[in-house]
Homo-oligomer: A and B are copies of this chain.
Amino acid sequence: MTKREQPVREATVADVARAAGVSKAQAARALGGYGAVSEQVLSLVIAASEQLGYRPNQVARSMTTGRSNSIGVVVGDIENAHFGLALRGISDEVRDAGYTVVLVNTDEDLDAEVGAVQELLQQRVAGLVVAPCSSTQTAHLGSAQERGRAVVLFDRGIHGLELDTVRVDFADAALQVGRLLLDAGHRRIGYVSSLRTDGPYEPGADLGLSPVADRVRGIEQAFTEAEDEWDPTLVQLNAFSDDTLAAACAELLDRPAPATAVVCSDSLIALGVLGHIKRRGLRIPEDISVVAYDDFPWTELVEPPLTVVAQPVYDMGREAARALLRRLGHRVPAERLPLRAHLVERASVGAPSEEN
């Protein structure tokens, strides 16, 4: 029985060097693949390392280099398939470059986001991909960049901050959504989003560089084209929980002249809205039309199949990762993945009901 029951000390560079009969520095160079090493030393070291089962201690490596081989990903809600899929894209893309992903969920809470970035920085992640929950409170992101960590924004951009941003331009798609609905005869079009804002929506309000801004603007533009105006009270933001979403639905439907169509800003919202509609016994599209953003498999399986705006979420994740890798000095394909949104017409849009 040995003196100490410590869990089998791992082999270190020093151990390998000793076993190979070379200096620690040479062993480290051979193992790490940097610096100049002779054939002979190389094979000696390789042999010794295999024999000892040497595995580099990443923490020690990070300690000296000042950065780890992981990147931080900060999102508002992993439960949302949108982020799940994006995460997959990011993860797939950085793996090849040897990075691992540290994930933090913020519940779309700014303080949590600030804390997460802080923590990740203390962990010395090489870079960050963040889907910021605010488009105004962004000091923490700027400072991360200043502290020498690459930062890439996902989905939502930020005015006046020079950060790579990966997002789809929804101007076109949103305009199409607006026209589709308007052409079908709708005038009372509801819009529901989880985007947090300080107050209710007002026409021309600055929604930041968010997809929501694009989408709202597109509908507004369609109204303008039709020489009509969109009632701003039909834009329901801050629907980030079951309760707030329920409130938004009530706001839209329990009014003298209820919305005849509703646009759901993401698939989670859509799920909630559909539930509400079902519980109220409303039929789609006879009683109410629905359009949702994000084309996930289930949207085609509900009855009726949903008309949606598809976006290449997985590729967006990959592109975000590539942007980050570029910043980190890795070689990645120069050409960007085409990130386009497009309307997929199915069967959830119809004419407003007679009685309206």
Please list the residues of chain A having a beta carbon within 8 angstroms of any beta carbon in chain B: 7-8, 10, 55-60, 62-63, 68-70, 78-79, 81, 84-85, 87-88, 91-92, 100-105, 118-124, 146-148, 271, 274-275, 278, 297-298, 300-303
Contact = CB atoms under 8 A, between A and B. Distances in A.
A78 B70 contact: no
Contact of A81 (B7, B81, B88, B124): B81
Nearest to A143: B8
Contact of A78 (B88, B100, B274): B88
Nearest to A105: B91
B105 A102 contact: no
A268 B132 CA distance: 29
Contact of A57 (B8, B101, B124, B147): B124
A279 B100 CA distance: 39
Nearest to A303: B303
Contacts of A298: 271, 298, 301-302
Contacts of A81: 79, 81, 84
The 9 closest A-B pairs by CB, nearest first: A303-B303, A7-B148, A298-B298, A271-B297, A58-B122, A84-B84, A58-B123, A59-B62, A103-B103
Nearest to A304: B303
A165 B141 CA distance: 39
A166 to B, nearest CB: 19
Nearest to A80: B84
A60 B58 contact: no
Nearest to A60: B63
A271 B146 CA distance: 45
19 contacts: A55-B118, A57-B122, A59-B63, A59-B123, A60-B63, A63-B63, A68-B123, A79-B88, A87-B103, A92-B105, A100-B102, A100-B120, A101-B102, A101-B104, A271-B301, A278-B301, A298-B298, A301-B302, A302-B303
